[in-house]
Homo-oligomer: A and B are copies of this chain.
Amino acid sequence: MEQLRLDDQMTALSQAAGTSMLELVRELYPIMRSITGPGLRATVRRLSAVVPLNITEVPTGTRVFDWTVPDEWRIEEAYIENESGQRFADMRDCNLHVVNYSIPVEMTLTLSELRPHLHSVPEHPDWVPYRTSYYQRDWGFCLADRQLRSLPEGRYRVVIRSTLAPGSLTLAEYLHRGAIEDEILVFAHDCHPSLANDNLSGVAVAIHLAAFLRTRKTRYSYRFLFCPTTIGSLAWLAMNEANLGRIRHGLVLSLLGDSGPLQYKRSPTGDRPIDRAAWYVLHREFPGSQLREFAPWGYDERQFCSPGINLPVGRLTRTPNGEFDEYHTSADNPDLLSPTSLGEAWLACAKIFEALEADRCYVNLSPKGEPQLGRRGLYQAMGGYRDIAERQLAMLWMLNQSNGNTSVLNIAERSNMPIGLLADATLALEKADLLSPVQPVAKPVYKW
């Protein structure tokens, strides 16, 4: 059966992918995105040039579980202007200046009347923060704290030329078909305007993984989702609820371009194959990687891992949300990212996929004692040496452990051998009719 196996070219491929991903981030960065609207559509159009995405428009007003898709937001212009005609917080300078989803406003206010609508981060006086008000109708501006504190007294004209009106929510996906219908889900939120690490980095890694898999045969099918955070993942889940049983493993990608170590956040139970495969790969092959337990705070793993959805979804980031200074400010720009960080994250995902594809249970067809590998040419003829070749040891592990219930990943964890080596040993033993894969039992889907 087809199975993803990586080769010596992967390091070179990951370096090239790193450069290409950062270029894509720089191209997408200036677009004014939100959870709905034309900026979001422009973004998925650009991604479709990498791999052709399937677009779904969900009408505003649609109920998705406990939520309703909000009116679509479009914005032309936003600024504040003092009596001398000086403009501040002009959206043309930086998309973050206007609170995302601000209602239309045109009025004149005193500075003290305006103040409650102005947001800044005093700890970083030159950075503009990112604020949103998707579900409560409000408006506001975000400024560098230094500028906010230096605003002269007087009256200000406030202009926000936006609309909130019926329209739709844009979801985009790409399905790579493998040998079986069971799927690995890869999710990246694509709604943040002019924030590079959060989450153009995740978007870029995901679309480049999709492009890579297009060139390979795989066992699993892979579904890549690009959706606005929360309402987007919820809408996709609500529309695809009948088919969620196909998803065997999932990964949320975000914050992958900074210089921090890779961090894998476990699913709620912490022991799903995705949890074990991800950590196996990271701790062996990406020194310094960190593991963190699930918490119901972060990105869309909050939705995938809610008790009534209960998908086995983990999250890969570098420095997590809220834990680096530039998070949700104008300082999260493309200069924060490096091709090396992006490329390494891409490679880590590919290796996790490889491990998941290799992770099957086998049954030893010659289980009484060791089979005589020597007469099959699988074992050295001369005996008495101190050591055994790694490949032979991998075969002995597979034979010893393959009782039908112990998967390749279990064996890798126990033996501390590379998954790839075990996968190769497995192939050799299958060819020699000494191992046979066990059909997986039906997935125990969580029925609410």
Residues on A facing B (Cβ under 8 Å): 64-67, 99-100, 129-136, 138, 140, 230, 233-234, 237-238, 241, 268, 293, 295-297, 302-303, 305-309, 321-322, 327-328, 364, 366-372, 374-375, 381-388, 393, 396-397, 399-403, 414-415, 448
Contact present for A386 and B234 (CB under 8 Å): no
Min CB gap A127→B, angstroms = 12
- Taking A138-B382, A237-B368 as known contacts, 20 extra A-B pairs with beta carbons closer than 8 A to each other, sorted by chain A number, are A66-B366, A66-B370, A67-B372, A134-B383, A135-B375, A136-B382, A140-B382, A237-B369, A268-B400, A295-B393, A296-B393, A296-B400, A296-B401, A303-B370, A306-B370, A308-B366, A308-B367, A308-B368, A309-B367, A328-B386
Point out the residues of chain B lying under 8 angstroms from A129, CB to CB.
Answer: 384
Contact A130 B384 (CB under 8 A): yes
Please give me the residue from chain B that is nearest to A381 by CB atom: B136
* A295: contacting residue among B328, B369, B387, B415, CB under 8 A: B415
Q: Taking the nearest CB of chain B, how far is it from the CB of A397, in angstroms? A: 6
Which residues in B have their C-beta under 8 angstroms from that of A307?
364, 367, 399-403
Indicate which residue in B132, B233, B302, B414 contacts A383 across the interface (CB closer than 8 Å): B132
* Across-interface contacts of A372 in B (CB, < 8 A): 66-67, 135
Copies assembled: 3
Q: How far is the CA of A295 from the CA of B134 in the complex (A)?
A: 57
| Closest Cβ neighbor of A363 among chain B residues | B307
The CA-CA distance from A295 to B133 in the complex, in Å, is 58
Q: Which residues of B contact A321 (CB under 8 A)?
A: 386
Kindly name the residue among A296, A387, A397 whose own CB sees the greatest number of chain B CB atoms within 10 A: A296
* Chain B residues positioned under 8 Å from A364 (CB to CB): 306-308
Residue contact A135 to B328, C-beta cutoff 8 Å: no
Cβ contact within 8 Å between A132 and B384: yes
- 19 CB contacts below 8 A, A to B, read A65-B371, A66-B366, A66-B368, A131-B383, A131-B384, A133-B383, A234-B369, A241-B368, A296-B396, A302-B396, A305-B400, A306-B368, A306-B370, A307-B399, A308-B366, A308-B367, A309-B367, A309-B368, A322-B386
Tell which of B100, B238, B374 touches A136, judged by Cβ atoms closer than 8 Å. Answer: B374
B328 engages A66 (CB within 8 Å): no
Chain B positions within 8 Å of A295 at CB level: 393, 397, 415
Bound together, the chains give a CA A322 to CA B383 distance in angstroms of 13
Asked whether, in the complex, the Cβ of A399 is within 8 Å of the Cβ of B296, the reply is yes
Cβ–Cβ contact A370 & B302, under 8 A: yes
Contacts of A367 in B (CB 8 A): 306-309, 448
Instruction: Considering the complex, give the chain B residue whose CB is closest to the CB of A68.
Output: B372
Q: Least Cβ distance of A96 to chain B in Å?
A: 9
- Chain B residue contacts of A134, Cβ below 8 A: 383
Residue among A133, A364, A372 facing the most chain B CB atoms (10 A cut-off): A372
Whether A67 lies near B369 (C-beta < 8 A) is yes
Q: Which residues of B contact A238 (CB under 8 A)?
A: 368
Q: Which residues of B contact A327 (CB under 8 A)?
A: 386
- Whether B131 lies near A306 (C-beta < 8 A) is no
Complexed CA–CA distance, A307 and B372 (Å): 15
Cα distance A234–B381 in the bound complex, in angstroms: 19
A375 and B135 alpha carbons, distance in the complex (Å): 8
Q: A387 to B322, Cβ gap below 8 A?
A: yes
A130 surroundings in chain B (CB, below 8 A): 384
